[in-house]
Amino acid sequence: MKLTVVIVSYNVKHYIEQCIVSVQQAARGIDHDIIVVDNASSDDTVGYLRQRFAQGVTIVESMHNLGFARANNIAINQSQSQYVLLLNPDTFISEDCLNTVIAFMDEHPRAGAAAAQMHNADGTLAPESRRALPTPWVSLLKMLGFSRRYYMSHLSWHQPNPIEVVSGAFMMLRREALDSVGLLDEDFFMYGEDIDLSYRIVKGGYQNWYIPATIVHYKGESTQKSSFRYVHVFYQAMLIFFRKHYGHLSFLVTLPVKLAIYFRAFIALLQMLWQRMRASLGFYDRPAGDAAYLFVGTPAMLQQCRELSRRKGLTAAFLDVADLDALDSRLGAATCVVYDVDALSFAQVISHAAALTQSHPDIGTCSLTRQLIITPSEIIPITLDT
- Contact indicator for 138, 150 with CB cutoff of 8 Å: yes
DSSP secondary structure letters along 172-216: EEEHHHHHHH-S--TT-SSSSHHHHHHHHHHHTT-EEEEEEEEEE
User: Percent of the chain scored above 70 by pLDDT?
Assistant: 81
Nearest to 339 by CA among 357, 356, 321, 322: 321
Q: Which amino acid is at 318?
A: F
- Poorest-pLDDT segment among 57-66, 200-209, 245-254, 318-327: 245-254
Residue of higher predicted confidence among 150 and 277? 150
Query: Which residues are paired to 171 by β-bridges?
Result: 86
**pLDDT confidence tier of residue 137, bands split at 50, 70 and 90:** confident
Residue 363 has pLDDT above 50, yes or no: yes
Average pLDDT over all residues of the chain: 88
Please provide residue 118's backbone torsions phi and psi, each rounded to the nearest 5 degrees: -85, 140
Q: Is the pLDDT of residue 118 over 70?
A: yes
Q: In what order do the strands lie in the sheet with 292-297?
A: 315-320, 292-297, 336-340, 362-367, 372-374, 379-381
Strands 32-38 and 57-61: parallel
Domains and CATH numbers, the chain: 3-217 (3.90.550.10), 228-280 (no CATH), 288-381 (3.40.50.11220)
286-299 pLDDT per residue, tens: 554 479 999 999 99
C-beta of residue 299 within 8 angstroms of C-beta of residue 340: no
Euclidean distance between CA atoms 271 and 292, whole angstroms: 28
- DSSP SS3 for 3: strand
The DSSP code for 82 is: S
**What's the whole-model pTM score?**
0.86
Average pLDDT over residues 112-125: 97
Residue type, 153: S
Nearest-Å Rg of the Cα atoms of the chain is 21
pLDDT 10s digits, 329-356: 999 999 999 999 999 999 999 999 999 9
User: pLDDT (tens digit, 9 = 90+) per residue, 39-58?
Assistant: 999 999 999 999 999 888 99
DSSP state, residue 64:
S
- What residues have CB less than 8 Å from 221, skipping those under 6 apart? 12, 15, 89, 90, 376
Helix (H, G, I), strand (E, B) or coil at 367: strand
What are 364's strand-pairing partners?
A: 338
* Phi and psi at residue 384, to the nearest 5°: -75, 140
Q: Measured between alpha carbons, how far is 39 from 63 in angstroms, rounded to an integer?
A: 7
Contact of 362 with 278, CB cutoff 8 Å: no
